[in-house]
């Protein structure tokens, strides 16, 4: 059984659906892969087919080996059957295999028996095996005998192999839908030895929480501290289970619940957002309206599923604390990040003050320290899995607690360099262009520290130049603990339809990584301000996130978002409460008062200036001149 819970998986998909790329991502963590190519070489006059084959070859890492079966299609079953339990095989694809099988050069042959032999080999295979095949069941019946023979044979092969595999996934337009999860094994994932797990810590609070706590205590509500090794709000688990045990909201593959590439998570309501924007044009406002802040109304409408979204009530700040060692932290003061984390737990400092004013909870999350990226991977594979699951569970806990909006920030040393490395790996960014200047505590610019950070990122990218660029690979090699936990938070929040406001480079780096795990996650993210940070600006452009403000606040991650939150809440409150503009010509003076209007409300208008005439309501007498005649 493989580490992901399956031995064999069949990846189906149409032409240009992304099935091959998805299959390659499933084995990207294997140290070596034996790539079994089934298609025959392209004819000399078919440049397009030759280009396709060349593209497939170019994607294969240098650590992979290639084996050809086109000369004898019956040998594919032997290759699979002879593979050992420590091997990883990728067969791409069964369409090419059937094409060669039906070639007159290999006829006459018993195609049915050959397909049965292949299915038997797959069923008995002890290696980790991924097979790719075109899905032809949705196409029209071909008009030629050879075309019908191909679709019939490939359809039979797909059915036989799918029945033999542990799992089957269909890839459509780059999105994966798991058709056949394997049988779940009882129990939970056992605890594994390794570095210290990620834990959440916060100052215990008694009495009311949220806005009530802020009102009664004068400080922000802080999530209670959990038992050691257990995330906040999660009951203690029985002995022998890990804090990172899978959550039931995760997709299932074979032995359990895992975070994997191509997850299908929910999208915001595609109709509510545009409807809310259209409604804003009808509101009775004296000016041009909300301007750029219309976007926050559209975002809130889509994530709440209504054209009249309500202001976010309960807000929780997740402040991730985990230092990056080595050159990434050049120019930082030793112990400063830990002091900021202690300050937030104690309800002091800028973040705590703004949280109190907004009635927000603050939860400080401790993440593993990240090893020097220039020398070695920042995390082990086990730590990445634990961090992703822990982040997912943090989002689940928030949703279960009734939180309406998450604010995601970080306070560790070296986070800017880690985010720059992630952007360089995922978006091809140049390190100096996305790594901001280093400013000391006294406000001076430290160019020497900036150059050391750039050198650390450069050396890390050189060290990993031949490594896979899958999401988990990037987190392990470059991202570190805080980016990994933040990625899990975004995925878990997406699964629970919980919007997240990003604040700082760690959040946007996590959003970049989450694209390979679930492309829907970025649609649940909101960016209040880019702070003038080059990494945040680039990532926002790639992700399609337009900052709502451009005031370049730099109060610390989390605090910047909270400073903008009252304005965003006011915008949502106005959009929900304002009436529509009356039609031209409507007589509003005779309108009946709306329900709830106070008709006895005093009139604060300035009184008319008193004239020389009488104040009686009777008509005034016409003026008379001294001769007694009425004035004309």
Q: Are 170 and 179 in contact (CB under 8 A)?
A: yes
557 flagged as catalytic: yes
Q: Quick one: tokens of 202?
A: 């916060």
The 10 Å CB-count burial string (b at 16+, else e) for 489-517 is bbbbbbbbbbbbbbbbbbbbbbbbbbbbb
- Residues 6+ away with beta carbon under 8 Å from 123: 8, 164
Q: Are 249 and 497 in contact (CB under 8 A)?
A: no
Q: What is the DSSP string of 302-330?
A: HHHTSSSPPPP-SEEEEEEE-PBPGGGGT
CA–chain centroid gap for 106, Å, is 49
> How many residues appear in the chain?
632
How many Cβ atoms sit within 10 Å of the Cβ of residue 285? 13
Reference 364, options 304, 407, 419; nearest CA is 407
Calculated CA dihedral for residues 185, 189, 193, 195, nearest 10 degrees: 150
Q: Quick one: tokens of 540?
A: 């926002």
Q: Which of 557, 588, 606, 618 is catalytic?
A: 557
Phi-psi map region of 580: left, alpha, beta (phi>0 left; psi -120 to 50 alpha) = beta
Q: Is 30 helix (H, G, I), strand (E, B) or coil?
A: coil
How many Cβ atoms sit within 10 Å of the Cβ of residue 581? 12
Exposure on the CB side of residue 173, measured as CA atoms within 13 A: 2
Active site residues: 557
């Amino acid at each position: 059984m493989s580490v992901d819970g399956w031995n064999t998986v069949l990846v189906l998909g149409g032409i240009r659906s992304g099935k091959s790329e998805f299959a390659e991502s499933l084995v990207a963590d294997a140290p070596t892969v034996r790539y079994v190519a089934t298609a025959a070489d392209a004819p000399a006059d078919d440049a397009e087919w030759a280009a396709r084959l060349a593209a497939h070859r170019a994607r294969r890492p240098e650590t992979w080996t290639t084996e050809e079966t086109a000369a004898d299609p019956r040998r594919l079953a032997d290759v699979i059957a002879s593979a050992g339990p420590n091997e990883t095989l990728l067969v791409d694809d069964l369409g090419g295999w059937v094409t060669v099988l039906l070639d007159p050069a290999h006829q006459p042959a018993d195609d049915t028996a050959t397909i049965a032999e292949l299915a038997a080999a797959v069923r008995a295979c002890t290696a980790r095996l991924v097979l790719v095949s075109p899905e032809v069941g949705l196409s029209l019946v071909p008009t030629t005998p050879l075309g019908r023979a191909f679709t019939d044979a490939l359809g039979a092969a797909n059915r036989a192999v799918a029945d033999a595999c542990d799992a089957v996934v269909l890839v459509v337009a780059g999105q994966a839908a798991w058709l056949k999860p394997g049988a779940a094994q009882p129990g939970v994932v056992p605890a594994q030895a390794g570095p210290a797990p990620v834990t959440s810590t916060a100052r215990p609070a008694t009495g009311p929480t949220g806005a009530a706590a802020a009102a009664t205590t004068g400080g922000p509500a802080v999530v209670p501290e959990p038992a050691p090794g257990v995330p906040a709000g999660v009951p203690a688990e029985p002995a022998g289970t890990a804090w990172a045990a899978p959550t039931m909201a995760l997709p299932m593959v074979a032995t359990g619940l895992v975070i994997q590439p191509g997850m299908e998570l929910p999208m915001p309501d595609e109709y509510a957002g545009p409807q809310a924007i259209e409604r804003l044009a009808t509101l009775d406002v004296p000016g041009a309206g909300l301007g750029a802040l219309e976007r926050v109304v559209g975002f809130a409408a889509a994530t709440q599923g209504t054209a009249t979204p309500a202001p976010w009530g309960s807000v929780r700040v997740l402040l991730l604390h985990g230092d990056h060692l080595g050159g990434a932290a050049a120019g930082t003061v030793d112990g400063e990040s830990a002091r900021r984390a202690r300050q937030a737990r104690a309800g002091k400092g800028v973040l705590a003050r703004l949280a109190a004013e907004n009635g927000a909870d603050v939860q400080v999350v401790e993440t593993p320290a990240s090893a020097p990226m220039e020398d070695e991977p920042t995390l082990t594979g086990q730590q990445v899995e634990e961090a992703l699951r822990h982040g997912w569970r943090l989002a689940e806990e928030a949703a279960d607690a009734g939180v309406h909006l998450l604010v995601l920030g970080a306070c560790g040393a070296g986070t800017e360099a880690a985010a720059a490395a992630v952007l360089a790996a995922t978006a091809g960014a140049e390190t100096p262009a996305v790594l901001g200047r280093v400013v000391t505590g006294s406000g001076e610019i430290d160019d020497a520290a900036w150059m050391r950070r750039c050198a650390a990122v450069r050396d890390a990218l050189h060290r990993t130049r031949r490594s896979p660029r899958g999401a988990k690979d990037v987190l392990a090699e470059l991202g570190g603990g805080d980016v990994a936990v933040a990625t899990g938070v975004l995925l878990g929040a997406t699964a629970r339809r919980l919007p997240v406001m990003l604040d700082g480079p760690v959040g946007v780096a996590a959003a970049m990584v989450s694209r390979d795990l679930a492309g829907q996650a970025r649609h649940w993210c909101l960016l209040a301000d880019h702070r003038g940070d080059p990494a945040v600006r680039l990532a926002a452009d790639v992700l399609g996130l337009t900052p709502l403000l451009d005031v370049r606040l730099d109060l610390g991650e989390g605090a910047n978002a909270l400073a903008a939150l009252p304005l965003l809440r006011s915008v949502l409150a106005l959009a929900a409460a304002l009436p529509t503009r009356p039609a031209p010509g409507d007589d509003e003076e005779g309108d009946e008062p709306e329900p709830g209007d106070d008709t006895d409300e005093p009139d604060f208008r300035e009184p008319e200036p008193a004239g020389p005439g009488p104040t009686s309501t009777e008509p005034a007498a016409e003026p008379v001149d001294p001769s007694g005649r009425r004035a004309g």
